Chains A and B, each alone.
Chain A
């Protein structure tokens, strides 16, 4: 190790006091103070099973991608082609999958064949094999038998396509006791291989709760002002129908009863904001994307009395959590 990299390594640490001053919360605090205290274990199955989440959301009037059908038995695998006959584009996913495993996206048809976003063609047997693998638990946690969920393809909002490279960018909103406290958009990159995981190289863009505009971008923990692949600046990013999106996210609290919740939303061209999935143990990377700790916002929400309506909660969050963008004006971006 050269002396320079040794110095880098030594300087890559900060003091606990600085993190505390910024209000950053660590894993221990998240686990004990928030997840342990506000999330009842018995409610976890509601969010760990995507089919349950979806049915629950439909009952509560929360928009999700339309359900085309489910396959629950190996016997039913042969019916897959029938089920999807009416849809041009669709997605097949395991109900209990994690980390995006086992999700098959079909964008359209080419005669008898199904077309993947990459352009690869799949036959009917390929589809059936994939569903069969899902049922046998290949993608689920612990290998337990699973259910295949087939839903409509999301037609991503066109105004946002230039901010992303492959993949569908999603918006993560942390909802605490029903208040949307912090939000970020995850843009997949070539480095992240189309996945929206920050530690795999996706760009995280902190979003202003008040307006839905970009605050700050990070990739691999370094600030970024533009998308690494498309080169498009991030400052002009503004999420359309922001109020609807926050309202949807906030109402997931009534829907699940979970006090500390990560909601993953997408924007559909025709249906507007939609709930994609929920997470009862949302990660802490959102603090990096926002350049701000969650602590002060969570403390403020903990002081609020219970029983506020969804619109009151969204209004309070938009009023208190407004921030100014740290990104340079679009014109000022160096070429």
Chain B
């Protein structure tokens, strides 16, 4: 029986995998290493409103890529609400809807923005000037005079805007300005005056980024266009240019928050900053990929996050294959350790280990009672599943009461798998004794920890997610391992007595 087709297949997979990865590295500049750290802002917008028991529509502006910042991921939390993201002339908006809601409502929107000095926002189209601006008496005269005064002392739209704002505030605030401000809000008034003077401008909203701040609100800024160029002005001081720490939240000149069917609506922001590998930036850059560049990055953000985990599973499988075929470690359930390792990623290693041991140990005690009842297998395992759920619930509540929030992550454990583990260990205990349980349980845990360390390694996470070709390489390695007829490492120990004399 010729093994040639097998080796051909393996080398084909291997070459294709390496080729795809190289192509991706050279063509799309995807780095091999996660590389340098970049600053990431995590911003949460909390919308509060009081619903009146009728249909509610909440419409909020969302930030987009812009100069200095790149949008990475975004999430929402809004139980019971329908949600749609919409692109509207120059702005992204989220719309939450619900048929009936009563009392205080809270909606959350979280976004991650990467600080990227060379990031560029989409080209901004100047807003059309209103055809006619109506002023009532005596504001028309006041407006005319303010405009004329600033016009005379300026040379371009931007300088005009600066002069205008200065005339509206501080020491230079004249009588006309004070009159106008009694009737209008400052920012809309400035836009109105600029438009009156034939200059395209709009009011935009920005957020000052400051680490660890809570209950912040947006501030108004004036965006003034000079042909294709635009600049941002502070409406109080007239300072030109955008501060580095200002994130523009709404740039289409529309309301930040619109609510129908509710009252007392307000939105507040909290933010945090942390450092994240620069690779995330690449990820985002690839979001515009076409069909030609087959990539996970073309999927919506949520599915991408899911795939990030899915693509790690082959790594876990590779660890299991390696440990079982080459080392000879016994595990309880072939791929149970991979699932436990996935749970460890959610819970962190130490909490996960303690939680796993607690659940399995208590489960074994209860299972030993069940075995006295002489039940049929399916009923017995189902009883164990309920027991596991009860144990997990009790541990969660207890750890919460004692203020150990880490204990809450115990719910990430795959309960059905845990139940089967307990069932198998229990049978093993009865048939082969506690020693075998220790060997197989220990083997499973060791495998799970190694799989966790591999799957949680930043470099491995980076390359599995960014180089799909590696999946083919792993496939070929696993096929090769399946063809290995040599000794397992532990057999060198097992068969030693037979080999020595």
Contacts and interface: CB of A to CB of B under 8 A. Distances in A.
B487 interface: yes
A190 to B, nearest CB: 15
Contacts of A99: 431
A288 B487 CA distance: 15
Interface string A4-19: 0000000011111011
A138 B488 contact: no
Interface stretch (A24-32, A74-82, A265-273): A24-32
Contacts of A12: 493, 496
B493 A218 contact: no
Interface string B458-501: 00000000000000000000000001111110011111111111
A32 B483 contact: yes
A89 interface: no
Contact of B492 (A13, A27, A29, A142): A13
Contacts of B501: 223, 291
Given A19-B491, A26-B491, A27-B488, A14 B483 contact: no
A31 to B, nearest CB: 8
B26 interface: no
B128 interface: no
Contacts of A13: 492-493, 496
Given A288-B497, A291-B501, A28 B431 contact: no
Contacts of A162: none
Contacts of A200: 432
A222 B377 contact: no
B74 to A, nearest CB: 47
A33 interface: yes
B376 A143 contact: yes
B328 A18 contact: no
B485 A28 contact: yes
B496 A33 contact: no
Contacts of A14: 492-493, 495-496, 499-500
A136 B376 contact: yes
B485 A287 contact: no
B325 interface: yes
B349 to A, nearest CB: 25
Chain B contact patch, size range: 20 to 34
B377 A16 contact: no
A19 B374 contact: no
A143 B371 CA distance: 13
A291 B496 contact: no
B350 interface: no
Given A22-B499, A26-B486, A142 B377 contact: yes
B485 A292 contact: no
A25 to B, nearest CB: 8
Chain A contact patch, size range: 35 or more
Given A133-B374, A137-B377, A143-B377, A26 B488 contact: yes
Contacts of B492: 13-16, 19
Contact of A292 (B377, B488, B498, B500): B498
Interface in A237-271: none
A14 B486 CA distance: 14
Contact of A288 (B1, B483, B486, B495): B495
Nearest to A29: B485
A298 B449 CA distance: 39
B498 A288 contact: yes
A236 to B, nearest CB: 22
Contacts of A19: 487, 491-492, 495, 499
Nearest to A193: B433
Contact of A16 (B376, B484, B486, B500): B486
Nearest to B1: A37
Nearest to B431: A99
B495 A28 contact: no
B332 to A, nearest CB: 15
Contacts of B485: 26, 28-29, 32-33
B497 A138 contact: no
Contacts of A288: 495, 497-498
A320 B488 CA distance: 29
A28 B488 contact: yes
Contacts of A143: 376-378
22 contacts: A12-B493, A12-B496, A13-B492, A14-B493, A14-B496, A14-B500, A15-B492, A16-B492, A19-B487, A19-B491, A24-B487, A26-B486, A26-B487, A27-B491, A28-B325, A28-B486, A32-B483, A32-B484, A37-B1, A143-B376, A143-B377, A200-B432
Interface of B: 1, 325, 328, 374, 376-378, 431-432, 483-488, 491-501
Interface of A: 12-16, 18-19, 21-22, 24, 26-29, 32-33, 37, 99, 101, 133, 136-138, 142-143, 200, 218, 221-223, 284, 287-288, 290-293
Q: Which 6 A-B pairs have the closest CB atoms?
A: A143-B377, A29-B485, A26-B487, A14-B496, A221-B497, A18-B499
